[in-house]
A and B are shown apart, each in its own frame.
Chain A
Amino acid sequence: MPWSRRLRRLHPTDVIMGIVGASVIAVVLYGSYETLRSGRYDGTDWFSFLVAGLTQGSIYALIALGYTLVYGILRMINFAHGEIFTAGAMTTFYLATWLSGKGWLTADRLGSAAGARVLGTIVLLIVFSALISSIVAVVLERVAYRPLRGAPRLIPLITAIGASFFLQYTLRGLYGSGIRPYPDVSVLNRELTFGGGYSIAMDEVVVIGSAFVLMLALVAFVQGTRTGMAMRAVAEDRQAAALMGIDVDRTIATTFAVGGALAGAAGVLYALLFRQTQFFMGFIPGLKAFTAAVLGGIGNIPGAMLGGLFLGIAESIGPFLFLEGLGIPSPNQLKDAIAFTMLVLVLIFRPTGILGERVSKRA
């Protein structure tokens, strides 16, 4: 639409929101400028913030994929997705502890046979956790969501909120409310050092690497297999897909299984990184991952990946970059506020996300 027409149709609230958005940007820029001018952090600091952000972001991205897959196919936000992530991580805790007791997670260096066994064990844990989360996701879909197909939109959403709390507190009941320390994989605490003080911790490498492999696998699955094609078809047009002989219920269940598996895998990675599990560990990462999915454009697979990484980096760099520059004390406390502010701003100014909502082709 021509600009003159847009201007004529401008509502006062649009103007207000424009001013709000502009002032947020101005504040961020000013804060960043102040920080950079003060030279508080040098290149290696920024590098480590960036790597930490990428690590966290790749976990967000894995969870975000689950939101996006389900949204793409059902147009519903699976609010309980964060709990699916927790279910995998918490259940795997016991396997990890057991295997750790057998010495499967101990090695002097990764290059040795013992090191290979450590990596193999981590893969095993990821697979196990993915399996558990997958089962939880499928059961959830079958019991709570499937009967609500075609119900008014608020109803599945409220159901999902209920399921989220149910799962969270079921896990609390089953496994207790205490923090369970994940076994320490000491070989992953080493750092890969480069020249000039730049370094990456091995666990960060493992997390980023695994996430990358899993995302590639997902893309291959969605693009290259018959089931993946069925998923895309159902996402495009459920009725037409059903007429083409695609078993819609099964395809949706598969989608939940795949999304759950990714969340379960993310759960293990998260636990490796933070070395603890607790029943509400999934709630905030779940919300963040949802934010990531929205950032990238919900329903859009590459969008969820990019959104996750972007959010992770913004969260890790943001507090030091612009909040500190504004003279805010303990800016890291406001990390979560940054994520939610981004969510709010994106939803307001570009609800279709960075890459665009995959379903918004229509007028």
Chain B
Amino acid sequence: MSDLLLDCRGITKRFGGLVAVNALDLQIPAGSIHSVIGPNGAGKTTLFNCITGFYHPEEGEILLGGSHHLEFLRTDEITRLGVARTYQNIRLFPELTAVENVMVGLHARLESSLLGVLFSSPATRKEERWATEEALRLLEVVGLGGKGDGLASNLPYGDQRRLEIARALATDPKLLLLDEPTAGMNTGETASMIRFIRRLRDDLDITILLIEHDMKLVMEISELITVVDFGQKIAEGKPSEILANPRVIEAYLGRGAAEALDVRTAAAAPGAAHDATSDADADAAADTASDSGTPPGPEPTSSAGSQPDPVDEGGGSA
């Protein structure tokens, strides 16, 4: 535990009477790949939203690199400190091109002043050139080379996920939060995503925090897994430890099932079941997103009641 990048201590987030995250501790060492798993509505995405400043926890501390208190910062300040994320329901800027999406991600790293822009100073021109090249390079990195020209909303679903990662990488993160990065992907795509996530950590030295329902991926890639249920941490450990933990199985299948089933088979089954449902959901979301060309979610304060909150699995969904 020498080099903690992210240290969450006792964070609690309530929505009215519902406690979405309850006194949760989470320690992420720098350079690790860490997964958070748990049933739907367990509070995983709420946790992400707390870390990235979309929500502000009522209690607890979130420390980045040992010194920055994220719980008091705005989302953009947190991003500038090197925390980037992707979203469960893809959240691109649909009416911008893929390149522009990534260039927006570069925003915080650009420094041209207003005057420089207006008078087209050499420094600004140089920076803009760099930004374009960097954006194209990042598209190349995620495997979208040559597809930068089209509107983000017109990309196929898998490419949209990749573009979201490219955009997150553009902010130059130290910590990357991936919310179900392989939802809706087939086996082959999932395998390449696993390799890609590894490369991010190994080559770019980015610490990864992952929410995922695909147990195969989680078990294969994670160095440490935290299991959350009803907003509380119920288990933490290496993949092998988690697989053998009766509380985890109980959380996924209920008490009766845990007693009746053989521990090992039960551990494999729920993953598959969840995978299937989340695939269907994600596909449906992608369909609507690309059909209508509208952003998948409305604005938060005045949004329609029938649709899920933009950056959330639904505050009251439990």
Tell yes or no: A249 within 8 A of B by CB.
Answer: no
Bound CA–CA A351/B59 (angstroms)? 26
Min CB gap A330→B, angstroms: 37
Known A-B contacts A75-B302, A240-B306, A362-B309; the reply to A9 vs B315 at CB < 8 A is no
Tell yes or no: A16 within 8 A of B by CB.
Answer: no
- Interface residue from A11, A351, A363 paired with B316 (Cβ < 8 Å): A363
Chain A residues near B309 (CB-CB < 8 A): 362-363
Task: Kindly report which residue of chain A lies nearest to residue B314, judged by CB atoms.
Answer: A362
In contact, B305 and A236 (Cβ under 8 angstroms): yes
Bound CA–CA A153/B55 (angstroms)? 24
Known A-B contacts A8-B72, A363-B312; the reply to A351 vs B301 at CB < 8 A is yes
User: In chain A, residues 4-42, which have Cβ atoms closer than 8 Å to a Cβ of chain B?
Assistant: 5, 8-9, 11
In contact, A5 and B56 (Cβ under 8 angstroms): yes
Tell yes or no: A196 within 8 A of B by CB.
Answer: no
- Interface residue from B71, B294, B316 paired with A152 (Cβ < 8 Å): B294
- Interface residue from A2, A239, A363 paired with B306 (Cβ < 8 Å): A239
In contact, A9 and B72 (Cβ under 8 angstroms): yes
Tell yes or no: A111 within 8 A of B by CB.
Answer: no
In contact, A153 and B298 (Cβ under 8 angstroms): yes
Chain B residues near A205 (CB-CB < 8 A): none
In contact, B72 and A5 (Cβ under 8 angstroms): yes
Known A-B contacts A8-B72, A152-B294; the reply to A238 vs B56 at CB < 8 A is no
Chain B residues near A11 (CB-CB < 8 A): 74
Known A-B contacts A75-B304, A238-B306; the reply to A150 vs B312 at CB < 8 A is no
Min CB gap B257→A, angstroms: 30
Min CB gap A301→B, angstroms: 16
- Interface residue from A9, A151, A237 paired with B56 (Cβ < 8 Å): A9
Bound CA–CA A134/B6 (angstroms)? 59
In contact, A150 and B316 (Cβ under 8 angstroms): no
Q: Which of A1, A151, A351 has the most CB of B within 10 A?
A: A1
Q: Mark A123-157, 1 if CB is under 8 A from B, else 0.
A: 00000000000000000000000000011110000
Bound CA–CA A239/B308 (angstroms)? 13
Q: How large is the interface on B (under 10, 10 to 19, 20 to 34, 35 or more residues)?
A: 20 to 34
Q: Mark A43-58, 1 if CB is under 8 A from B, else 0.
A: 0000000000000000
Bound CA–CA A134/B267 (angstroms)? 61
Bound CA–CA A362/B301 (angstroms)? 9
- Interface residue from B58, B72, B299, B315 paired with A363 (Cβ < 8 Å): B315
Chain B residues near A8 (CB-CB < 8 A): 72
In contact, B316 and A362 (Cβ under 8 angstroms): yes
Tell yes or no: B15 within 8 A of A by CB.
Answer: yes
Chain B residues near A236 (CB-CB < 8 A): 305
Bound CA–CA A152/B94 (angstroms)? 12
Task: Kindly report which residue of chain B lies nearest to residue A238, judged by CB atoms.
Answer: B306
Bound CA–CA A237/B307 (angstroms)? 9
Min CB gap A55→B, angstroms: 32
Bound CA–CA A129/B298 (angstroms)? 37
Min CB gap B243→A, angstroms: 34
Tell yes or no: A114 within 8 A of B by CB.
Answer: no
Chain B residues near A326 (CB-CB < 8 A): none
In contact, B292 and A150 (Cβ under 8 angstroms): yes
Bound CA–CA A236/B301 (angstroms)? 16
Chain B residues near A362 (CB-CB < 8 A): 15, 305, 309, 314-316
Bound CA–CA A238/B306 (angstroms)? 7
Q: Mark A322-363, 1 if CB is under 8 A from B, else 0.
A: 000000000000000000000000000001000000011111
Task: Kindly report which residue of chain B lies nearest to residue A72, judged by CB atoms.
Answer: B305
Task: Kindly report which residue of chain B lies nearest to residue A1, judged by CB atoms.
Answer: B58
Bound CA–CA A153/B298 (angstroms)? 9
In contact, A153 and B299 (Cβ under 8 angstroms): yes
- Interface residue from A150, A351, A359 paired with B305 (Cβ < 8 Å): A359
Min CB gap A359→B, angstroms: 5
Bound CA–CA A238/B304 (angstroms)? 10
Task: Kindly report which residue of chain A lies nearest to residue B58, judged by CB atoms.
Answer: A1
Chain A residues near B15 (CB-CB < 8 A): 362-363
Q: Mark A184-227, 1 if CB is under 8 A from B, else 0.
A: 00000000000000000000000000000000000000000000
- Residue contacts A-B, CB under 8 angstroms, 6 given: A9-B56, A75-B304, A151-B294, A238-B306, A363-B55, A363-B315
